[in-house]
Amino acid sequence: MAEIRTYTGTPTLFREGRPAFYGLMWGSAPLPDSYPLHDRARAYAAAGIHLFTFDIGAAGQTPEWAGPGPGREGHFDFSTLAARFQHVLDADPEARFHLRVHLEMPAWWQALYPAEREVLSDGRALAQSFASTLWRAQAKDYLRALVAHLRAAGLFERVIAYQTGAGDTGEWVKGRGAMSTACGDFSPPMQAHFQAWLRRRYQDSEPALRRAWNQPDATFATAGVPSTERQSASSTLTFRDPQREQAIIDYYRCLADLCADLVIDFCGTIKAATRGQALAGAFFGYLLELAWNSAFFAEREEYTNSHISTYQRSGHLGLARVLASPQVDFLVSPYSYGFRGLGGEGPSMLPAESVRLHGKLYLFEDDTRTHLTRHDHPNYGKAATLAESAAILKRNFAYVITHGQGMWWLAGGDPATPHIDPVGEPAFQPLLKRFQELGEFSLHLERAPSAEIAVLVDDESFYYESLRNELDLPLIFQQRLWGLPRLGAPCDTYLLQDFIDGRLPPYKLYLFLNAFRLDQARRRALQRQIQRDQRVAVWVYAPGYIEDDLSAAHMTDLTGFLFGESEIPWGPLMHLTDYRHPITRGLPQDLSWGTNSRLGPVFCLEDDQAVCLGNVVLAQGRCRPGFGVKVFPDWTSIYVAAPNLPAPVLRGLARYAGVHLYNEQGDVLYATRNLLAVHTLAGGERTFRLPRPAEVVYDLFERQTVAEAATHFQVMLPPASTALYYLGDAARLKPPAR
């Protein structure tokens, strides 16, 4: 039996009543007559990793949902499944399985049910519409049949988790629709679903629908999925006006609700079929990542529109709904694609601490492109040497155990052309073994979130943005990859609503990335949370701008600043003007930040009561106050007009708020009460200051004591390296045997 319980402050895998580190090997599915990754599986088993994940299902190369055929009931064929499991068990008799079950439908299903297919704005029909109730019912039948077959075959207890997914690669994103210029879904199932959703939302009241949409002739019977032109347009360059564009906002909210409900329904089907004895989860909730599009992943002629955002059209905005469901045990994502290479950052695509807050385990997919990756494979920050590969793999592992997560490593497909393969390179094998040992060791440390900086991202506000990514690329995607990990202190990332609901532990500094859309209830609840206990709030770009309409007066109400507004679209850039303030003291004159992408409107401060620290440069070269501070009796409000704050500015803000800084050299840094990790490109001598005395500082990768009775310690870090230190009581430190 497998379950997720909170243990030492974070959700943890329990197997047969005991906590376990969730470390897995992900490899290609076994074939009916062989398993090309036998040697890989044996090597993982020798490293103490006995969990294996592979893909099965309709859209892959395996035959379980096979379509019509002689002697089949329900289009299912499980005749080769037991033999394929046995191939892995031959390699590792202790093997347990995490199945990635694909529910995206292949050509035979599309031909059989053409009316159930998603339809794009350019007329193309894709696989099943997410709104197809026929597909949904068949998928649940398939999941129940799969579990029943495993039970009958004596394999049921070998499977500890089922991960269900649809869309490309099972990640609930339709690449040819959500990630490209074409819009969807104009299929009959989606049209019917949207109309039913509107009836529920507006309580079957057409007058309420007409008021919300500002359309006197709107009816439920005629309300349809908004056209491509309407989906792609926005009242301003950057934002949608709910008084004019509520229909588009409603459609994307409907899509998010639908995808979340599918994830919950499929996970619930698994929980019922296994009688609660196995885990259920999905790829879902990529709210720190989805500013990219097809152009980011492929250099193809049809992917020229790199300004397209995937956020609203993916359905991932239903994350809060999924987090609230008891049917979902875990969520998964690859780590961010934005800056994977040496010296970069390897974070979750999800707001990781909200996942923990709601009792879910997050699984980190480490599909790093090591130096072993064949030359024609997509680069994604590919390492050039063995040393670089090891530094990146260590960095990713350090991120995982300092955030209380599990992970899997990609073992590749054809052994002759490895993808990433920590056991394909002999030098990686002891490293992989060490990862598993340290993962188990970390379970017994204090693992609750312990940062002093909270980063807040708002799922609600995405609905009120245009489909363009000019804002979210610098504001979210780049901010969390460039400035935040290098400021010298750890950060915890949450959904804004969790803060509004009062669920967060106290922090010293709160960074509000995209708190744009706040109705009166959320606005007042947010103010009650932030305006107390000497908390410091940093607001970026357009905080509170949207209520029932769009107005800078709403921003004043939320932040306490008076604002000016320019309707001329421009890429706002910031520079400092005051170098005496505690936030900016010591910063260089050549420091600047912002974006060249056009935003509109662009804001500045028109507040004589604010302390101005910097100017924002607008259209026509106008230099206006754009970085200001206002101190109130119970809290401090700080406004920054341009996104993507650099690490030195974030460091100054953290210091001003009383946040403990471990060091200030700009290395990627993670920390908990008992662990400190640093990933460096430059290397060199480093001094780390500790927030509390440590009886011992121990290098967990090098297996050596660094300092004793320490309030700080000094080390010499090699260039292009990652270090992981234990900080705490010597008696608690029990390094695993060599």
Confidence (pLDDT) at 424: 64
Please indicate, yes or no, whether residues 636 and 701 belong to a single structural domain of this protein: no
Per DSSP, the three-state class of 494 is: strand
The helix/strand/coil state of 581 is coil
* Residue 239 CB-density burial (10 A; 0-12 exposed, 13-18 middle, 19+ buried): buried
Considering the domain architecture, whether residues 619 and 718 belong to the same structural domain is answered as no
3-state secondary structure of 113: coil
Looking at the structure, tell me whether residues 650 and 677 fall in a common domain: no
Q: Which residue has the tokens 């000094």?
A: 714
Structural domain contains residue 417: no
Q: Is 635 contained in some domain?
A: yes
Strand order in the sheet with 721-728: 668-671, 675-680, 721-728, 684-699, 704-717
Alpha helices in 184-241 (DSSP H): 188-201, 206-213, 228-232
Return the pLDDT at 391: 97
Q: How many domains does the chain have?
A: 2
Is 681 in the same domain as 562?
no
DSSP collapsed to 3 states, 424-470:
CCHHHHHHHHHHHHHHHHHCCCCCCCCCCEEEEECHHHHCCECCECC
Provide the residue type at 599 as one letter.
Answer: L
In a domain, residue 182? The reply is no
Q: Quick check: is 642 in a domain?
A: yes
User: Of the residues 624, 656, 688, which one is the last residue of a structural domain?
Assistant: 656
Q: How far apart are CA 110 and CA 728, in angstroms?
A: 59
**pLDDT score, position 137:** 97
Do both 630 and 681 map to the same domain?
Answer: no
Give the span between the Cα atoms of 411 and 221, in whole angstroms. 51
- The answer to whether position 247 is within a domain reads no
Answer yes or no: do 642 and 685 share one domain: no
Which pLDDT score is estimated for 405?
Answer: 98
In a domain, 467, yes or no: yes
Is residue 710, in this structure, part of any structural domain at all? yes
Q: Where does a domain end: 609, 632, 656?
A: 656
Task: Tell the residue number behind the tokens 């009816």, with chain if given.
Answer: 219
Which of 628, 656, 684 represents a domain boundary (last residue)?
656
Q: How far apart are the C-alpha atoms of 554 and 561, rounded to whole Å? A: 10
| Residue the block writes with tokens 């564009």 | 245
> Buried b vs exposed e over 701-733: b needs ≥16 C-beta within 10 Å?
beeeebbeebeebebebeebbbbbbbbbeeeeb
Q: What is the CATH number of the domain that holds 715?
A: 2.60.40.1180
- Residue 70 has a pLDDT of 79
Q: Which residues pair with 668 in a beta bridge?
A: 679
Q: What is the pLDDT of residue 39?
A: 86
pLDDT single digits (tens) 272-291: 999 999 999 999 999 999 99
Query: Do 697 and 644 belong to one domain?
Result: no
Separation of alpha carbons 603 and 625, rounded Å: 9
Give first-to-last CA distance, the chain, whole Å.
30
Say if 581 falls within a structural domain. yes
563 and 697, same domain (yes or no): no
Instruction: Please give the pLDDT value at position 377.
Output: 65
Same domain flag for 523 and 578: yes
Q: Are residues 674 and 648 in the same domain?
A: no
Question: Could you tell me if 579 and 613 are in contact, meaning their C-beta atoms sit under 8 angstroms apart?
Answer: no
481-508 core/surface letters (b: 16 or more CB in 10 A; e: else): bbbbbbbbbbbbbbbbbbbbeeebeebb
Q: What is the mean pLDDT of each run of 10 residues along the chain (738 residues)?
A: 96 96 90 84 93 79 78 81 93 96 92 96 93 97 96 97 94 84 93 98 98 96 94 91 97 98 98 98 98 80 73 95 98 96 96 98 94 75 92 98 96 53 72 96 95 98 96 97 98 98 98 98 98 98 97 98 95 97 97 96 97 96 96 98 98 98 98 98 97 97 97 98 97 62
How confident is the model at residue 376, as a pLDDT?
61
For residue 723, what are the domain limits?
668-732
Residues 477 and 600 in one domain: yes
pLDDT of residue 736: 45
34-58 pLDDT per residue, tens: 888 888 899 999 999 999 998 887 5
- CATH code (residue 560): 3.40.50.880
3-state helix, strand, coil in the chain (%, to 5): 30, 25, 45
Same domain assignment for residues 477 and 542: yes
